[in-house]
Homo-oligomer: A and B are copies of this chain.
């Protein structure tokens, strides 16, 4: 294939082509250093401005208050599942502390399961009864909770929270892996936000953690040094060698976002793209969205026909037309179009066109 495809993968997924072209152009000699960013010593004067720039751009676009640290870590969102309770909930005396999780899907429940190794986890609400097709009301925290965890955007099922739960003085923690920088989010309402980079930010292999400073504290000795926010915060994400190239790409992606008009314009585009697809689904006689309207994700849009053979045929024929990775997650089946920031409107229009043709051919 000579031309680029529209990639609807849930992540890793599309990156802005302008970013890829700039990375290619700088590959053997970045900023006149005579080196690739991949070759730069993380402790060198060449790399320092690159990580500083990525952090500054993230702070600017997300409007991160000054009393939050930004960490660039490894291990994916999956390593945050244990790091959060290990850092926020483990006491020297071993007494298990209370935490609340809301179960809105596979990732939310994996996070809770991992936390239950280190904390007394209460799953206060779940939408599992209806295949996670909605976001439940957020119950009040327990007064003894040391934190309260939600998954802001649920990648697999395609839901998202539409208001920030009020947890009072209990620190609110949110997984924003699949929606970071898709629309404005009031960081000051959260104690900790985390995201794997591989959807809206850059390549897999970098995890961003945004943590309010008062939550960063010394933890018991038995916790691995590499799993301590305290260490990474103190060392500016350089306790050991960070994933330098991924951090560089994140900086380029954030530059691109700003050039596009910043988060307000990105949000406008995301709403426009999602609305186009949801509107089509809602009037279609062949396809439908299984998700409650008010809880629908802007980023991950699952849809079904209700006939597994026809769905498989759809996914296959779409791929042949340059619309790739439209199969739903293996746990839920059907189809899913992930339309992250880098998916152009043209990609969504091409998908809708293809769906219309498919509908015309298969509506009996």
Contacts and interface: CB of A to CB of B under 8 A. Distances in A.
Contacts of A306: none
Interface in A50-88: 74-79, 81-82, 86
A234 interface: no
A35 B7 contact: yes
B34 A1 contact: yes
Contacts of A79: 74-75, 224, 226, 240
A195 to B, nearest CB: 12
A246 B36 contact: no
A253 to B, nearest CB: 10
A33 interface: yes
Interface string A122-145: 000000000000000000000000
A333 interface: no
Interface string A11-53: 1111101001101110111001111101111101000000000
B246 A205 contact: yes
A35 B5 contact: yes
Given A76-B241, A79-B74, A241-B76, A38 B24 contact: no
Interface class of chain A by DSSP: loop
Interface string A235-252: 000011111111001000
A153 interface: no
Interface stretch (A196-204, A210-218, A356-364): A196-204
A78 B239 contact: yes
A113 to B, nearest CB: 9
A163 interface: no
A117 interface: yes
A279 interface: no
A4 B29 contact: yes
A263 interface: no
Nearest to A4: B34
A10 interface: yes
A241 B42 contact: no
A41 B325 contact: yes
A204 B243 contact: yes
Nearest to A196: B241
A244 B12 contact: yes
Contact of A221 (B14, B117, B245): B117
Given A24-B25, A38-B202, 20 more contacts: A1-B33, A2-B32, A4-B34, A7-B34, A7-B39, A9-B40, A9-B41, A10-B41, A11-B41, A20-B27, A23-B27, A74-B75, A74-B243, A77-B240, A78-B225, A78-B226, A82-B224, A82-B226, A204-B245, A205-B246
8 contacts: A4-B35, A7-B35, A7-B39, A17-B28, A24-B24, A81-B226, A82-B227, A205-B243
